[in-house]
Structures are given as structure tokens and as C-alpha cells.
Structure 1
């Protein structure tokens, strides 16, 4: 026949070993590359770091306590004030530097209208640092 047998010359047994010579050659080349480039990677770069200075922290901002009771009465640092006095004191406080923190504490039974009126006056005066004081729950 014109066609030959596919198994001619191979002896009929499959090749069971991998030729590792090319693998060893590649590994040696990689080893040489890493040995050459490793010293280049360890060179140090000079960096001039700034030195820290001992700076005093800024003084704490003064705190103003604003309390609203259930009837809508307002106390400015434990002193009872009306709406006109409240607005005048807020204008003075807003002009102070650093601006004081306004700590607003409303009674549980106070209507939201009273709280909203006090917040509106603080915003109109230009007070920016307003915090709400809450009481911890009795169970905790």
C-alpha cells in the first residue's frame, strides 16, 4: 500500500518522560535576570522628611447651654430669656471667634415648634456649631 503504518519506528510504546532540558535552560536564564536586577531594586532614594514641631492645640470653643422646657421657656446658660434676648445673645455669640458651640437640650414634652424657632434663630444669627443634648435611657 501507499500508506505506511503510523507506528513505524516508534517501537509501539508511548514516550513516558518529559524533556527537561529546555525547562532548566529557561529557569537558569530567569535566575540570572533576577540576580542582575536584584541589586538595582535595593538602591535607596534619599528623602528629606519634615520635622514635626510641637504646636499647642487650639483652645476649646466656649459652650452655650440652651434649654427648652415643656412650656416653651428658653434658658440661656441657666438664665431665663425671651425671644428678643435670645436673638440678641445669638448675634453676639455668632460674632465671637472662635464661635461657641450651642448645646440645645429640649424637654421630652416640648413641642417641636419651640425647638424649630430656636434653631431658626440660631441659623439667622449665623451660629454654625449646634449640637443636640440627649439624656441616656433609664434602662442603661
Structure 2
């Protein structure tokens, strides 16, 4: 039995796949998709509510308090004495929202001096104290 030969015997069964119906079905599906896609993408018209937003309150500036090896206290790089330190802390505690106190202490300073500054901050009303350190090299 020969496949796809035209030798004149019409009694033999032709066993090739007929592609014409498959192409017809694919063309019909293509036309259906071309027609239905614009309908699917139709958006619903909605009148959305309008809203206004207010910007968040700006964060206050951080206060840098430094203590050098001799025990001198610096408020934002300006040397202050104990009375000035207490008055500056009281003024900073009245700000809303309260600023953070960033405490930088020299490695050689006595812990007692650091504890005095922390106690002054606590008595003055500052609740947020952060210790600033440098990483090991």
C-alpha cells in the first residue's frame, strides 16, 4: 500500500491528514477573538471620590550632645556648662514632638560623667536618648 500516490486506484484508503478543516476552524476562532477582545477590555466608568491628604508632621532636629575625654559637654558642637545644659534640655523637652538626644561620649571619659548627662536629660523631660558609637575598624 502506497501512501499519497496517484496511480489511479481509487479503492485504496487515503491515510494522510486533511489540514483544510483544521485551518478553517483556526480562522473562525481567530475572527471570534478579534471581535470579542474589544468588548472584554471595556472599562466601567466610575466616579471615584476625591480625597485630600495632609503632609506628615516634620521630624524635629536631633540634638547632638558630645562629651570629650576631659569631661566637657558640647550641645550641638558648642561647649556648655551644667546650668546651660539643663536649660537647653528643658527648652528641647517643651517642643512637640520631642527631639531625640544623640549622646556621643569619648572612650576615655568616666562613666559617671555620662550618667550625669543622662540624668539631666531625664530630669529635664527628654524621653528619647540614643548612644552614637563608631564601628570597629
What TM-score bracket applies, with the shorter chain setting the length?
Answer: 0.5 to 0.7
**What whole-Å deviation, never above 9, does each CA across 1:103-134 have from its counterpart, x for those lacking one?**
00000111100100000000000001111111
TM-score (norm 1): 0.59
Cα distance change, pair 57–114 in 1 and its aligned pair in 2 (3 A)? same
Distance 2:109 2:103 in 1: 12
Matched, 1:133 2:132: yes
1:53 deviation in Å? 6.1
Distance 1:84 1:129 in 2: 21
Distance 1:91 1:102 in 2: 12
Q: Tell whether the 8 Å contact from 1:62 to 1:99 is kept in structure 2 after alignment.
A: no
Distance 1:89 1:58 in 2: 23
Partner of 1:83: 82
Cα distance change, pair 53–78 in 1 and its aligned pair in 2 (3 A)? same
1:71 deviation in Å? 1.0
Distance 2:67 2:51 in 1: 46
TM-score (norm 2): 0.60
Partner of 2:118: 119
Partner of 1:29: none
1:137 deviation in Å? 1.2
Matched, 1:98 2:92: no
Alpha-carbon RMSD across the aligned residues, in angstroms, is 1.6
